[in-house]
Amino acid sequence: MAPERERTSRELRLAPFPAEDGAPYLRLLHRALAERDVTVLDLGSVREATGPAHVDVVHLHWLEYLVQGGRLRSLLRGLRLASALRRLARSSTRLVWTAHNLRPHERRNPFVEDLVTRSALRHADTVIAHSDYAARRMAETYGVERPVEVVPHGNFVGFYPQPSRSREEMRRELGIPPDSFTYLVFGQVRAYKRIPEAIAAFGAVGDPDARLVVAGAVSDAALATEVEVAAAADSRVILRLEHVPDEDVADLHQAADACVLPYRQVFSSGALLLALSLGLPAVTPWEGSAEIAGPPAIEPFEEGRLADALRAIRRGDQAERRRAARAAAARFDWDGVADRTVELYERPAA
C-alpha cells in the first residue's frame, strides 16, 4: 500500500471559474488537489464567492468563457465580473488567475475580454503561466511588473482509456495503408491551429503512401469548409471532423506515427503533452516548446518551415522517438503541479 500523502496545513475551500464542466485539465488538477485537502466548490458565479459562502481561494482560468454571449450580455457579464474581482481584492479570499492563453483564440468581444483581463491582472494575488516562455510573453504583452508564477501543465498519462483496437485495426477503419507513415492533427478544429496550412505543408511531402489524419470537432461552418476544400486537393488527407470520444483518443494516437501542431507558438502545452503522454512524437513550433521537450521527442520548426519538419520527423529511430516522448511527458506529473499550486494558494498576501 502506498504511504498516505502528507496533508496541507489546513483544509482549503477552492472555487474555480469556469467550473470543471468536464475539461480534462481541470479534472486532473482538481483530482490532485483533492489529495491535498482542497475542497472544490461549484458556485454559480464569482459574485457568490464574495458573499456568505466561505471560500479560501478563487481560481480563474479561461476568462472569455465567463463573459461569453451577445454584445450586451457579454458587457454586463464583464462588468459584473470586474466588480466581483474588486470586491475579492478587498477580502481575505485569495485570488489566483492561470493565463492558459495570451489572448482568447477567438476574439468574440475584444473590449470585454480586454476589460476582464486587465481586471484579473490588477486584482489577482497570483498570476500563473505554464512556462517561463509564457510568463515572459505575459510580461511583454501586458506590462506585468510583478513576477508571473510558473506552474507547468500536467501530463495526460493514464487519463484516457487504453486502446480498444490494435494499430492495424484502427488503420483499417480509417483507410490507412499498413506501412504508411501517418501524421495526426488532433483536437478541436479552430482557426489558430492553421490546419489548412498544415494540409498545404503535407502536400509538399512527396510520399504517395503517407497520410494526414485531421480528427476533431469543428463548430465554425466557414472553417469546416476551408479545411474540406484544402483536403479535397490531396486524396492522402483523411478528415474526421467530429467529436472524438475519450475511448477513441488513444486508438487514434496509436494508429499515427507523429502528431502535428501547426501553431505559431506553444503558449499552453496541453495538446503537446497529450501527444507525448500517449507516446507520439510531435512536429511542433520551436517557439515555446523547448521547455516541454526536445529532439527526438519533438521535431521543432521555425515559421515557414513546417514541411521540412514533416520530412525530418520521419528520419531516425521511431521507437526511440516514442520512448523519448513518454519520458518527456513523465516529467510533468500532477503531484508536482498540485504541490506548487497549493503552495501558491497558501502564500501570505503581499
> For the stretch 88-108, what's the b/e string if a residue is b when 16 or more beta carbons lie within 10 angstroms of its beta carbon?
beeeebbbbbbbbebbbeeee
DSSP letter string, 55-115: -SEEEE--GGGGS-SSHHHHHHHHHHHHHHHHHHHTSSSEEEEE-SSSS-SS-SSHHHHHH
Beta strands 282-285 and 211-215, pairing class: unpaired
List helix spans (H) across the chain: 24-34, 46-49, 71-89, 110-123, 132-142, 167-174, 195-203, 221-232, 246-255, 270-277, 306-312, 318-330, 334-345
- Is residue 8's pLDDT more than 50? no
pLDDT of res. 5: 41
Q: How many CB atoms lie within 10 A of CB 265?
A: 18
| Domains parsed from the chain with CATH numbers | 12-154+333-345 (3.40.50.2000), 167-330 (3.40.50.2000)
- Is residue 96's pLDDT more than 70? yes
d(CA 10, CA 29): 19
Report residue 191: phi and psi, to 5°: -60, -40
Confidence at 7, pLDDT banded by 50, 70, 90: very low
Question: DSSP letter at 243?
Answer: -
Please answer whether residues 124 and 313 qualify as being in contact, where contact means their C-beta atoms are separated by less than 8 angstroms. Answer: no
Backbone dihedral region for residue 288 (phi beyond 0: left; psi -120 to 50: alpha; all else: beta): left
pLDDT of res. 20: 77
Mean pLDDT, rounded, for 100-110: 91
pLDDT in tens, 295-334: 999 999 999 999 999 999 999 999 999 999 999 999 999 9
Percent of the chain with pLDDT over 70: 97
Percent of the chain with pLDDT over 90: 89
Higher pLDDT, 58 or 10: 58
15 to each of 7, 21, 52, 86, 152, how far by Cα in Å? 20, 13, 13, 16, 21
All residues at 6 or more sequence positions from 138 whose CB lies less than 8 Å from its CB, including other chains: 99, 102, 127, 129, 144, 148
- Is residue 3's pLDDT more than 50? no
pLDDT in tens, 274-290: 999 999 999 999 999 99
d(CA 47, CA 78): 12
Please name which of 24, 19, 38 lies closest in space to residue 341, comparing C-alpha atoms: 38
- Which residue has cell 464569482? 46
Backbone dihedral region for residue 276 (phi beyond 0: left; psi -120 to 50: alpha; all else: beta): alpha
Please name which of 297, 288, 290 lies closest in space to residue 324, comparing C-alpha atoms: 297
d(CA 282, CA 302): 14
All residues at 6 or more sequence positions from 111 whose CB lies less than 8 Å from its CB, including other chains: 75
Confidence at 106, pLDDT banded by 50, 70, 90: confident
Report residue 274: phi and psi, to 5°: -60, -50
- Is residue 22's pLDDT more than 80? no
pLDDT in tens, 181-199: 999 999 999 999 999 999 9
Mean pLDDT, rounded, for 11-15: 95
- Is residue 67's pLDDT more than 90? yes
d(CA 193, CA 260): 10
pLDDT of res. 219: 86
- Is residue 169's pLDDT more than 50? yes
pLDDT in tens, 251-275: 999 999 999 999 999 998 899 999 9
All residues at 6 or more sequence positions from 112 whose CB lies less than 8 Å from its CB, including other chains: 67, 74, 75, 77, 78
pLDDT of res. 217: 97
pLDDT of res. 350: 63
d(CA 26, CA 119): 22
On average, the pLDDT of the chain sits at 94
Specify which residues 7 forms β-bridges with: none
d(CA 145, CA 325): 35
Please answer whether residues 187 and 271 qualify as being in contact, where contact means their C-beta atoms are separated by less than 8 angstroms. Answer: yes
d(CA 345, CA 343): 5
pLDDT in tens, 114-163: 999 999 999 999 999 999 999 999 999 998 878 999 999 999 999 999 99
